Amino acid sequence: MSERTLVLLKPDAVRRGLIGEILGRYEAKGLGVVAMWFGTIDGDKADAHYAEHVERDFYPPLRAFVTSGPMAAMVLEGDAAVEVVRLLNGATNGVVAAPGTIRGDLSLSNRENLVHGSDSAESAEREIALWFPELG
């Protein structure tokens, strides 16, 4: 069933010139771009996006990282888009992410891991409303 998911190409992806490489993988798989935004977020936006993580030990450096430069945020659409994006992204830590995945091929970090993908249909709904209220 066609559904939508929220993807972030994090500041490391932009700094490293990997927007085209990464977006190309989603498009080649068959997902379509529904909306896109490019810019730098502030700490309040990071806190809202990562609400489930704000109390975690790893959150302060994550917050500094995701506010450190521009990101590309987008809504992708297609069959099982939430699961498909997570599979293409690979495991959180690039060191152990499977080869063939975005993180497995392109990241060696547990934090600077290039991409975010919504982890459930419920998360996707919340995150799309946060980043693209006009789609609501």
**Positions that interact with Mg ion (CB under 5 A):** 119
What is the pattern of x (binds ligand RTP, CB under 6 A) and - over residues 8-47? ----------------------------------------
- Residues 87-126 close enough to bind ligand RTP by CB under 6 A: 92, 110-111, 113, 116-117, 119
Q: How many residues bind ligand RTP (CB under 6 A)?
A: 10
Sorted by sequence, the CB contacts under 8 Å of residue 77 that are 6+ apart come out as 2, 3, 4, 5, 31, 32, 33, 34
Q: What is the torsional sign of CA 125, 96, 87, 22?
A: positive
Q: In angstroms, what is the minimal distance from the CB of 60 to ligand RTP?
A: 10
Ordered DSSP codes for 27-63: HHHT-EEEEEEEE---HHHHHHHTGGGTTSTTHHHHH
Closer residue to ligand RTP (CB): 29 or 53? 53
Residues that bind ligand RTP (CB under 6 A): 53, 58, 62, 92, 110-111, 113, 116-117, 119
